[in-house]
């Protein structure tokens, strides 16, 4: 058992609610905190006003203290601003990863330090495993709900201070425990979307309020125009719909986005596949691995085997192109061994 009280980040969802309950059951002194990150409208993420209230009422039900931290300015600077800038540059960002990097496991730890908490906990579905080289992040017990991809940026010093109580159980177990405890979040839907993009207005409206959206032509690999888009900032690699192309042809997919030339290039299914994917950055958790690892390129995508070269992924088998700006995460035996950002190419 950790020494001293544990600060549990409670988002207002079922996972963090059960995380707090499990820690209490294990004998920890627990204090719940909720980070108020987004001050604008939110109807589908983890930043709505109702989420703060749900967290507070769960904490009250569990008999623990609850506090709310307003990190709105930090969220705007470190998550929303870069999200907009990345789209303006024709890239596809991972705002949830940046939120974890800057807010949930940096800003929160600084606040924990100031308040005398040595340990924090969250409701993420991932595990921390001890190795000869120290603590490492690993996939959660529920493969379908694993969140190690969005947590891959956490450094070992953070992992030493972190508890992930639901990482060793399934989502069904979480729901069952929440129901047994009569928690108000037991049947609450999980958050899947970007919290600051509302389902009512969408990404186009959000970005359009912040940057000028530019139309672009859609061309095939020979450079012949075959369609058009209203906003190149909304286009991503692999996209098939919304490209203004005539129907009745074989499916075509976005294989390149050039925001400076205002050109989107499409190709057929085979054109989506590549043997190498460029990397703009890469960080090994420990020593470099000169062998095949399992590589994951999206939060819900399947991993595929490949090697990490000096500036690219070398796929064992042809792999779909990765959108620039997306995180690339490497695993070995379900343990995160490295991560980086996909480049343009």
Q: Are residues 264 and 277 both part of a single domain? A: no
Average pLDDT over residues 232-254: 91
Please give the average per-residue pLDDT across 209-219, as a whole number: 96
Tell whether 192 is covered by a domain. no
Number of domains in the chain: 3
The pLDDT score that the predictor gives to residue 50 is 80
For 127-162, the DSSP string reads EEEEETTEEEEEE-S-GGG--HHHHTT--HHHHTTE
pLDDT over 90 (residue 220): yes
**CA dist., res. 71 & res. 289, Å (int):** 38
Give residue 3's pLDDT: 67
Domain holding 318, by residue range, is 272-342
95 shares a domain with 42: yes
Rounded CA separation 24/31 (Å): 10
Q: Which residues pair with 51 in a beta bridge?
A: none
CATH number at residue 335: 2.40.30.10
Does the pLDDT value for residue 210 go beyond 90?
yes
Assess whether pLDDT exceeds 90 at residue 189: no
Strand boundaries in 15-154, DSSP class E: 30-36, 65-70, 119-121, 126-131, 134-139
Judge if 281 and 327 occupy the same domain. Answer: yes
CA distance 113 to 96: 23
241 plus 122 within the same structural domain: no
CATH number where 11 lies? 3.40.50.620
Burial class (CB in 10 A: 0-12, 13-18, 19+), 176: middle
Do 255 and 306 belong to one domain?
Answer: no
Mean pLDDT score, 189-209: 85
Sheet holding 216-219, edge to edge: 225-229, 216-219, 263-267, 253-258
Inform me whether the pLDDT recorded for 249 exceeds 90: no
pLDDT digits (tens, 9 = 90+) for 49-103: 688 999 999 999 999 999 999 999 999 999 999 999 999 999 999 999 999 999 9
Q: Is residue 226 assigned to a domain?
A: yes
> Which residues 6+ apart lie within 8 Å of 342 measured at CB?
277, 278, 279, 280, 297, 322, 323, 324, 325, 326, 327, 328
Which sign, positive or negative, has the C-alpha torsion 282, 284, 287, 290? negative
Residue 197 placed within a domain: no
196, part of any domain:
no
197 band by pLDDT with thresholds 50, 70 and 90: confident
* Residue 201 domain flag: no
In order of 16, 21, 35, the CA distances from 59 in angstroms are 10, 9, 14
Can you tell me the distance from the alpha carbon of 173 to that of 23, in angstroms, rounded to the nearest whole number?
A: 15
DSSP conformational letter for 302: P
88 and 221 part of one domain: no
Higher pLDDT, 201 or 155: 155
Q: How many CA atoms lie within 13 A of 147 on its CB side?
A: 21
Q: For 12-61, what is each residue's pLDDT tens digit?
A: 999 999 999 999 999 999 999 999 988 776 655 565 668 899 999 999 99
With beta carbons less than 8 A apart as the criterion, state whether 152 and 140 touch.
no
Domain boundary among 239, 268, 297: 268
CA angle 115, 116, 122 (to 5 degrees): 80
Inside any domain, residue 145? yes
- 222 or 246, which is more confident? 222
- Per-residue model confidence as pLDDT tens digits over 297-341: 998 889 999 999 989 999 999 999 999 999 999 999 999 999 999
Residue 300 pLDDT: 82
Contact 314, 227 (CB under 8 A): no
- Residue 199, pLDDT score: 79
Statement to judge: residues 230 and 294 lie in one domain? no
176 shares its domain with 294: no
Catalytic residues: 99, 195
What is the model's pLDDT at position 39? Answer: 72
pLDDT value for 211: 96
Q: Is residue 210 part of a domain?
A: no
For residue 175, the SS3 value is helix
Q: What is the pLDDT of residue 324?
A: 96
The answer to whether residues 75 and 87 belong to one domain is yes
Residue 4 confidence class, pLDDT cut points 50, 70, 90? confident
pLDDT value of residue 44: 56
Q: Supply the pLDDT for residue 42.
A: 60
Q: Tell which of 250, 268, 286 closes a domain.
A: 268
Average pLDDT, the chain: 93
What pLDDT is recorded for position 43? 55
Determine the pLDDT at residue 41.
62
Query: Would the pLDDT of 158 be above 70?
Result: yes
Domain co-membership, 59 together with 164: yes
Residues 235 and 125 in one domain: no
Looking up residue 241, the CATH number of its domain turns out to be 2.30.30
Q: Do 33 and 105 fall into the same domain? A: yes
Distance CA 295, CA 126 (A): 17
């Amino acid at each position: 058992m950790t020494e001293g009280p544990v600060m549990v980040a409670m988002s207002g969802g079922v996972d963090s609610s059960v995380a707090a309950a499990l820690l209490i059951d294990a004998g920890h002194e627990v204090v719940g905190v909720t980070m108020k990150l987004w001050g604008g409208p939110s109807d589908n993420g983890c930043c709505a006003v109702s989420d703060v209230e749900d967290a507070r009422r769960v904490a009250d039900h569990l008999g623990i203290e609850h506090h709310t931290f307003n990190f709105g300015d930090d969220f705007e600077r470190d998550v929303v601003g870069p999200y907009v800038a990345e789209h303006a540059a024709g890239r596809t960002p991972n705002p949830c990863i940046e939120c974890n990097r800057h807010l949930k496991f940096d800003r929160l730890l600084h606040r924990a330090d100031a308040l005398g908490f040595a340990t924090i906990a969250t409701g993420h579905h991932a595990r921390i495993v001890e190795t000869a080289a120290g603590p490492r992040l690993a996939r959660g017990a529920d493969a379908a709900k694993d969140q190690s991809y969005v947590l891959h940026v956490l450094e070992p010093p953070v992992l030493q201070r972190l508890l992930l109580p639901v990482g060793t159980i399934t989502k069904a177990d979480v729901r069952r425990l929440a129901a047994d405890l009569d928690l108000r979040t037991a049947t609450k839907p999980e958050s899947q979307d970007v919290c600051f993009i509302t389902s009512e207005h969408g990404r186009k409206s959000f970005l359009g309020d912040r940057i000028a959206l530019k139309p672009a032509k859609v061309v095939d690999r020979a450079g012949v125009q075959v369609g058009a888009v209203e906003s190149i900032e909304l286009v991503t690699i692999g996209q098939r719909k919304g490209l203004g192309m005539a129907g009745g042809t074989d499916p075509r997919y976005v294989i390149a986005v050039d925001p400076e030339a205002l050109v989107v290039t499409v190709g057929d299914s085979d054109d989506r596949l590549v043997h190498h994917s460029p990397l703009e950055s890469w960080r090994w958790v420990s020593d470099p691995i000169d062998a095949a690892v399992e590589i994951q390129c999206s939060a819900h995508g399947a991993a595929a085997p490949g090697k990490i070269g000096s500036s690219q992924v070398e796929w064992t088998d042809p792999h779909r192109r990765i959108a620039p700006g997306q995180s690339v995460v490497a695993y070995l035996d379900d343990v995160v061994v490295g991560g980086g950002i996909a480049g343009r190419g």
